[in-house]
A and B are shown apart, each in its own frame.
Chain A
Amino acid sequence: MEAPARIKLTIDGREVEATEGSTILDVAQANGIRIPTLCHHPGLSSHGGCRLCVVEIDGAPRLAASCVTPIRKGMAVVTVNDRIIEARRTILEYLFSERSHFCMFCASSGDCELQALAYEYQLDHVDAPSLEGLFPTDASHPDLVIDHNRCILCGRCVRACHEVAGAGVLDFHNRGGRTMIGADLTGPLGQSTCLSCGVCEQVCPTGAIHNRHQTHYAVHGKDKDWQTIESFCPSCGLHCRTVNYVRNNHLLRVEGLLNDSGVDRGQLCRLGRFEPLMSPAVRLDKPLLKNESGQWVELEWPEALSAAGKSLAGLRRKEGQGAVAGYVSSALPEDELAGFKELVLDKLKAGRLDCLDGDIGRKIALALKQAGSRFKEAPLSAVAESDLIVLVGADLESTHPMVCGQVRRALMESKAKLAVIGPVNNFGTWAAVHLPVEGTDMGRALKAITADSASMKDFWSAWEGKGLTQLTETFYASRRPILIAGLELTLSGGVDGLSEAIRLAEARRQAKASYSPLIILKPSGNSEAAWRIGLAGETAAPESKIRGALVCLDGEVEIGDTIPREAEFVAVLTPYFSQQVADRAHLLLPRPTALESRGTYTGLDGSTRMEKQPVLKAPRQVRPLLETLNALADALQGESAGRGKN
């Protein structure tokens, strides 16, 4: 195909050249000519609805919407004259009169495109009487609020929900002035199939869709006073890029980079967009020690460090190496993981080092080992290329919302089919088949697809009429299936379950593909790196013997039952004070949150590595983790040395 031609036209008397097929708005913007828009968004398809971007073409009386009008050779465009301004002002006036746009009561005041245009067009009053009828405010969703009274029906959220999120949850319903944005037709957002990706909020030009986690608007100030910091989300290993809006070291909003070429097209999920805005528990900004009566007392850092060193070193000395252990969250960046490993193994000389998701890591490692070196996991982009997605033991909506979005998009856009095996089905009737097996039956179901019926006779007879036949038929009808193994498969289906998934994937590997069609989900965004570093080692002391532990959390507010309840001393490095952790710990040492830290993360597929800069500054008393680890090392060293001397 030949390249599109370059053509010449004039805009406001200036001759410009542009590629055929571009819109007037594109060309104007490329040449630094500003045209106001509301429904238009560079990351979305064109809509042509708000009509603010009207321009005059060749003096015609009818004005054209520049966002949807393609350029034509020799056309003369005027973007500003009296009648264009009058038309735009009238349209703005209409928008203001249509619903409730009283800026001083709006959460988005100061950060609103409609308001900004009113200033630009000096709309100091509205002649048209207010048409406002009362529309409902939909506050049924945990993260988002839709106030239909502030909606200007620009449809950006609808397009974003279809085009970016691939969810198709939002759409218009009713018509004319009664038009409203509805989720799953008309229902409230909270009871809809919304995945809480929040892209609708990001593109909303007014305060119609806003998130519930923003603090009161007065804190936000005007958008010009904000700082924007680009970063990425380390949650699940997809490394979605983020733009963080910060004012006075306060995170106001996280946005995706729409137009991004990444597999996520620039959207974020609930974890990337809303979790950073929430504090899961009280922030810990000083070391705390539990006294004899079980109460927490504040300590200065030196005391805290020496208390940790003393207790841990003491236990090791008293009970032996096997009595002390180090546990770490695999969500930490690599350098911190490495630092912790060094501290625990070299300085503390602990008998056990594990990460919190070590069990899963060991099972996956075992399964992969059995599979042999030929097996290679598929990248996430393979989802979009498949015609059947088989989810096994996956609750994507809670563990990997972004992958959930990818699956939805494949269903909507590439018309792929979906089969769900396991207790949880996030997709309802979208799934062509759902086999609600649990535990090791998940692996059996995978085996039953290919195995001869004789060996699986009992299983077949139990599930034949409940979806197994359909699952098998669907699987064989597909040309490019892909399997996604969720955490539940690894946890309750075990190594055998994983091995069945690998076997099935290997069987359907495309002739020239560099990978097998299987994606194995990991618990955190950096699990892969943690395991590679060796934090989920197989050679570990039995847990029952452990009497003391050093734990390093990322942002988790629970530590589970990994550490025996009989432990005499548990020191926890954590950004938050949570009751669950506090119950199990004896010493709490503050550390920065992920947003306040820098570090390197490895992606879900195990190959991409990304460096993250801090977005916020940690509170004054909170030291960087590596610094604390070093100080702890010193304290342990000193303890050992001191004892040695005495």
Chain B
Amino acid sequence: MRRWNVEDLYRIKGQTVRGQILDSEGIQARLTVHMGTCGISSGADKVYSALQEELAASKRQDIVLATSGCAGICNREPLVTVEKAGQEAVKYADVDVDTALRIFREHVLEDRLPGDLALVRGWEQPERAFDGVVPETLTNVASIKELPFFNHQELRVMRNRGLISADSMEEYIGVDGYFGAAKALFQMTPHEIVNEVKSSGLRGRGGAGFPTGLKWEFAAASKSEIKYVLCNADEGDPGAFMDRCVLESDPHSVIEGMIIAARAIGSDRGYIYCRAEYPLAVKTLNQAIDQARQHGLLGHNILNSGFSFDLEVYRGAGAFVCGEETALMTSIEGKRGTPRPRPPFPAVSGLWKKPTILNNVETLSSISQIILKGAKWFKSVGTPRSQGTKVFALTGDVKNVGLVEVPMGISLGTIINDIGGGIPKGKKFKAVQLGGPSGGCVPLEHLGASVDYETIPKLGAIVGSGGMIVMDEDKCMVDVARFFMEFCVDESCGKCTPCRVGTRQMLNILTRICNGQGREGDIETLEKWAVIIQNTALCGLGQTAPNPVLSTLRYFRNEYEAHIKDKRCPAVACATMFQSPCQHACPLGMDVPTYVALVKEERLEEAYRVLLRTNPFPSVCGRVCDHNCESKCRRQTLDESVHIKYLKRYITDNGPRPPMARATVNRLEKVAVIGGGPSGLSAAWELAQRGYMVVVYEALPEAGGMLRYGIPEYRLPRRALRAEIQAIVDLGVELRTGVMVGRDISWEDLDARYEAIYVAVGAQKSTRLKVEGENRSGVMGAVEFLRRCNLGQKPEIGSNVIVVGGGNTAIDSARTALRLGASEVTILYRREKEDMPAQEEEITAAVEEGVNLITLSAPARLAGGGDRVEEVVCQRMTLGDYDASGRRKPLPLAGAEFTLKADTVISAIGQQVDAGFQEQTSGHDSGIEFSPQGLVKIKTGSRTRAGETLVFAGGDAVTGPGMVVWAIRDGIAAAEEIDASIRARNGEPAWQKPPVEPIELLPPIVEEDIRESQRSPMPELPAEERRNDFREVELGFDAQTALAEACRCLRCDINEAVE
């Protein structure tokens, strides 16, 4: 074949570009099937051959079928792009053989676009932007500029993605391929090339981020007849696949980069070290090398410039450590791939002891553009010290999985939530692992962090090669650390002791912790060893192996502690620690599988007894619990979780309440509980069962706290609550209502009379709005508003009610206001609906009832003629970058204000402990301290201890407004701690829980019999009927529904299915 020179490049470029133009005279249409490994594994090859047959059958000569590499959005493969003369290109996603044929017939042949199948129209490459008129058939298809997955990206390394065929060198030349090399060979001295790369600021994209130009400068300065240019294509990080994509789709860009590098340092030979697990990449590379060699772009006298350079592919056998530069070189030398000490550095003594540079695929692929367009162009995006773009492999729990190329400096949140589309299945984001096993995780509070080489390391992670694994709330961070450590153990070459043994020792501890066998001191040992291994290991693999442990410890130490101290996995992922995820997810450890199974067997009294083992308020929880259990239910992997909460309610509504005997008082110590809410009553319930005499002081006329005076009756009927409180009184707990500590009884009195005090006063005071006009009448706090309603004092609210806030209290206030007769109830929320902390079903119910929801708005001032509020001047908000809550920060939109009429404004933006109580206790030597937010502080090392003496606290008073189940959990935990403290002081043995009677259940159904079935919806009163009174909205399951729902339980608590 003829060898080319520079003139040929221009000629071929012209021919190629002309040949690709679609017009009515020549080629009418082109179909491109995207055939990277990702595409082929999803069936792109079958799509291609089907289209090939169809095209042949149509006998159309003016239609072209082409292939190209990965198009980026990997979880939507196979992708097919259709271009027609005079029309904008259209990309189809999730194409199979049938849809491909439909696309061919309807779009290509009949010009009838199957809009339902189309993903997007247009090309990502700006130079391919379509400036014509969009035909009518395409207007319903989203433009590439509108889809966040595409429009935040800036393609440079992947500039040719989806555009050219990897098999065609001409197509590469058609997009300016090899013009960079030509420029470097004919117009630049090696020194100039090095300087251009240096001033571009390009940093090695393989992981360490070392300045590429500097590396080249060192190698150029080394004196040797033989020098090597190596390309590291041994991509081995779990979850990273950008190099594979470049190699498969655009191999010539890497070869061109290597030619330029060779010219810069004076090398004449090189290797591409590519892992054997990338067969397509190896094939594509070899083919590209052959083409380049045949046309004189590799080998002797490239483009007749007098410069010679040749290279070959060396296949690595799949050792992660061979991605480390010295191990890679040892491997090319034909030896066992183990690292060797540096110095000497490869730039001085590398492959076969000759000066060598090693660059990553992405780095080399960037080079030709830098040479062609200049360092300034490269620096036009990025941050001052991290220039250009970076490709990330976005994977894990994220809606759009794929390769994304973004400018350096973009925020993590933008990549994950905008490009990635956020977390699927309505789960919450937890952390993102950057840099694979050498990197670290970045949690929610740093979603706003800029992605660059300075910021990410400060957070304890690394940019690395660009693996970005998104993890949702169901991922246990200890388990994640264990996973990565296991990877390092498997991949350690074994040469140096710290990496070979240290990683295994750390893995041992991590495995132990995940298995619920963690010990006191394990965290400290992990930290000590992590530092020693970092500081003493031979190569990068060992030195960075402890990073995932250190970073998870930095952000999720509490998860480690929960595993070790409480034997709990908060994410409910470490399966060896529990029988069933629902039970483990429940803060009270309720035995869900058993009571659900008992419902199925229609043994409701026994089921009720199971409920009462761990929860004094099952009926309440059956109505208002936030049901963590359901979010961890394994049934979700099949269809939807079991309606555990409603089954619980079904038991308490329909089962006979098992009689409970009065508890025997067999202890001398008396305990006082301040606050008759769920937390205080639960503490009393548990203490009474342990033989203590307990007195509960409640300031209001009736006990129940927020259950009684916060939650409206339409959600929690009073009879259900009263029955459960009565059961606690029946147990022997003394309840003194209408007694307020500080007013009716002094703290000193309590202190003197009781051995221990549990403070469960709740957060009874609404946080102020802090806007102008707040003191006008008609402005009130949500808690106060709801309390007055629930005391039966029907507050005057007028017809226009504005509720400010987005939590459950805001929704409760709005729905209550509606029932009190307001005609217009509006909720103002400063962020977006998705960001509202209220339970989703509550928001839906409120909107159904007619509550207006205005998001991205906040009150600016409250105005009125007299001292009454008459209108709310609202400020429109916009969302800035991510704040510490992991949500976009609301920022006032300058000049955008609007006014709402208001008779009443209810503030539901937060709650705190009543200031009166704060004064009461802080004046005395109770030892209680309050946080700046007005909440009780807990002493470190304890769960509920609040004072120096036996003073404990829990519930909303500590946590701020929270879910009832957590308040109950705090109460029980406080009771346990009070009992344990007293016993420890007396030198008594710990309390022994009385044994529970075992329950015999029928064997569960075997797996083959399980059929997909959706969960049963809760029957409700119709919205128009319920909005006028306080009748309970949810009607409860009937027996048939309950039975059907109970049958959906998979019985995860049983390890072996019965045949």
Query: B-contacting residues of A (Cβ < 8 Å)?
Result: 46-52, 54, 61-63, 65, 68-70, 86-87, 90-91, 94-95, 97-98, 127-129, 131, 152-153, 155, 171-172, 174-179
Contacts and interface: CB of A to CB of B under 8 A. Distances in A.
29 contacts: A48-B496, A49-B538, A50-B496, A50-B497, A62-B535, A62-B543, A63-B535, A65-B341, A68-B341, A86-B528, A87-B536, A90-B528, A94-B498, A94-B502, A94-B505, A98-B500, A131-B501, A153-B494, A153-B500, A171-B336, A175-B319, A175-B494, A176-B489, A176-B491, A176-B493, A176-B494, A176-B500, A177-B489, A177-B492
Interface in B489-545: 489-498, 500-502, 504-505, 508, 525, 528-529, 532, 534-538, 543
Given A50-B497, A97-B505, A62 B492 contact: no
A98 B501 contact: yes
Contacts of A91: 497-498, 532, 536
B534 A62 contact: yes
Contacts of A152: 497
Nearest to A154: B497
Interface in B320-345: 321, 336, 340-341, 343-344
Which residue, of A54, A177, A178, has the highest number of chain B Cβ atoms within 10 A? A177
A177 B493 CA distance: 8
Which residue, of A48, A52, A171, has the highest number of chain B Cβ atoms within 10 A? A48
B333 to A, nearest CB: 14
Nearest to B498: A51
Given A48-B496, A68-B341, 20 more contacts: A50-B496, A51-B498, A62-B534, A62-B535, A63-B535, A69-B341, A86-B528, A91-B497, A94-B497, A94-B501, A95-B497, A95-B501, A127-B525, A128-B501, A128-B508, A131-B508, A172-B336, A175-B494, A176-B494, A176-B504
Contacts of A94: 497-498, 501-502, 505
Given A177-B500, A177-B501, A172 B340 contact: no
Contacts of A179: 493-494, 500
Nearest to B319: A175
A25 to B, nearest CB: 12
Interface residues of B, number: 33
A54 B534 CA distance: 13
A50 B537 CA distance: 9
Contacts of B498: 51, 90-91, 94
Closest 7 CB pairs of A and B: A179-B494, A94-B501, A68-B341, A176-B492, A48-B341, A176-B494, A98-B501
A131 B525 CA distance: 17
A70 B343 contact: yes
Contact of A86 (B343, B493, B532): B532
B489 A175 contact: no
Contacts of B497: 49-52, 91, 94-95, 152
A51 B539 CA distance: 11
Which residue, of A52, A174, A179, has the highest number of chain B Cβ atoms within 10 A? A179
A44 to B, nearest CB: 15
Contacts of B504: 98, 131, 176-177
Contacts of A63: 535-536
Interface in B157-202: none
Which residue, of A51, A54, A153, A155, has the highest number of chain B Cβ atoms within 10 A? A51
Nearest to B335: A171
Contact of A129 (B340, B500, B508): B508
B540 to A, nearest CB: 11
Contacts of B543: 62
A179 B336 CA distance: 12
B845 to A, nearest CB: 55
A498 B968 CA distance: 103
Contacts of A86: 528, 532
Interface in B334-382: 336, 340-341, 343-344
Nearest to A70: B343
B867 to A, nearest CB: 65
Contacts of A97: 501, 505
A62 B536 CA distance: 7
Given A69-B341, A127-B525, A172-B336, A49 B496 contact: yes
A92 to B, nearest CB: 9
Contacts of A178: 494
A49 B504 CA distance: 17
Contacts of A127: 525
A47 B339 CA distance: 10
A178 B493 CA distance: 9
Contacts of B344: 70
B659 to A, nearest CB: 52
A98 to B, nearest CB: 5
Given A50-B496, A70-B343, A172-B336, A65 B491 contact: no
Contacts of B505: 94, 97, 128-129, 131
Contacts of A90: 498, 502, 528-529, 532
B338 to A, nearest CB: 8
Nearest to A52: B497
A94 B344 CA distance: 28
B508 to A, nearest CB: 6
Nearest to A94: B501
A172 B536 contact: no
B538 A48 contact: yes
A155 B494 CA distance: 11
Given A62-B543, A94-B498, A131-B504, A48 B340 contact: yes
Which residue, of A49, A63, A131, has the highest number of chain B Cβ atoms within 10 A? A49
A601 B344 CA distance: 47
Contact of A51 (B336, B343, B525, B538): B538
Contacts of A171: 336
Nearest to B539: A48
A95 B340 CA distance: 21
A88 B705 CA distance: 60
B461 to A, nearest CB: 18
B487 to A, nearest CB: 11
Contacts of B538: 48-49, 51, 65
B558 to A, nearest CB: 25
Nearest to B502: A94
Contacts of B508: 128-129, 131
Contacts of B496: 48-51
Interface in B448-499: 489-498
Nearest to B537: A51
A407 B165 CA distance: 55
A577 to B, nearest CB: 51
A54 B536 contact: yes
A283 to B, nearest CB: 46
A175 B532 CA distance: 22
B605 to A, nearest CB: 49
Which residue, of B321, B498, B537, has the highest number of chain A Cβ atoms within 10 A? B498
Contacts of A153: 494-495, 500
Contacts of A62: 534-535, 543
Contacts of B489: 176-177
A86 B500 CA distance: 18
Contacts of A52: 497
Contacts of B532: 86-87, 90-91
Interface in B534-566: 534-538, 543
A343 to B, nearest CB: 60
A127 B519 CA distance: 13
A129 to B, nearest CB: 6
Given A51-B498, A131-B501, A131-B504, A87 B525 contact: no
B535 A87 contact: yes
A90 B343 CA distance: 25
B195 to A, nearest CB: 28
B226 to A, nearest CB: 19
Contacts of B336: 171-172
A61 B535 contact: yes
A98 B494 CA distance: 12
A15 to B, nearest CB: 22
